[in-house]
Amino acid sequence: MTTETTFEQFGLPPEILQGIHDAGFSNPSPIQELAIPVVMEGRDLIAQARTGTGKTAAFGLPAMGRLLAAGFKPSKAAGVKILVMTPTRELAMQVGDELFKLGRHGGMRTVAVYGGQSSLRQVELINLGSPIVVATPGRLIDLLESGRLKKFEPSIVVLDEADEMLDTGFLEDIEKIFAMLPAERQTLMFSATMPPAIRNLAAEILRDPEFIDITTEERIPKDIEQSFYVVEESERQDALIRLIDTEEPERAIVFCRTKIEVDQLQTALAACNYNVKALHGDMDQSMRQEIIRRFRAGDTRFLVATDVAARGLGVVGVTHVFNYHMPFHREAYIHRIGRTGRAGQKGTAMTLVTPSEYVKLKRIQDAVKAHFLPREIPRVSAVQKKLDQELVAAIDNQEATGEAVELLAQLETTMDVSQIACRLIALLQSSRKARGPQKIGFDEERLKRLVERKPRPFNRGFKPKSGNFRGPKRGGPKPKRRSRP
**CB-hemisphere CA count at 13 Å for 428?**
15
Phi, psi of 227 (to 5 degrees): -140, 160
**pLDDT value, residue 220:** 66
Question: In angstroms, how far is CA 115 from the centroid of its own chain?
Answer: 18
Give CATH for domain 224-380+436-452: 3.40.50.300
pTM for this model (two decimals): 0.54
User: Residues of the chain with pLDDT > 90: what percent?
Assistant: 45
Mean pLDDT (whole number) for 398-420: 87
Map out the domains of the chain as residue ranges. Answer: 7-216+459-482, 224-380+436-452
470, pLDDT greater than 50? no
Q: In whole angstroms, what is the distance from residue 318 CA to residue 338 CA?
A: 10
Q: At what angle do helices 196-205 and 171-179 cross, to 10 degrees?
A: 10
- pLDDT for 240-287, tens place per residue? 999 999 999 999 999 998 889 999 999 999 999 999 999 987 787 678
Residue partners of 120: CB distance under 8 A and separation at least 6: none
Give CATH for domain 7-216+459-482: 3.40.50.300
CA distances from 328 to 31, 86, 228, 256, 434 (A): 19, 11, 16, 11, 32
Confirm if 295 and 251 have CB atoms less than 8 A apart: yes
Tell me whether the CATH fold assigned to 7-216+459-482 matches the one assigned to 224-380+436-452.
yes
**pLDDT value, residue 462:** 43
Q: What is the mean pLDDT of the chain?
A: 85
308, pLDDT greater than 60? yes
**pLDDT value, residue 15:** 95
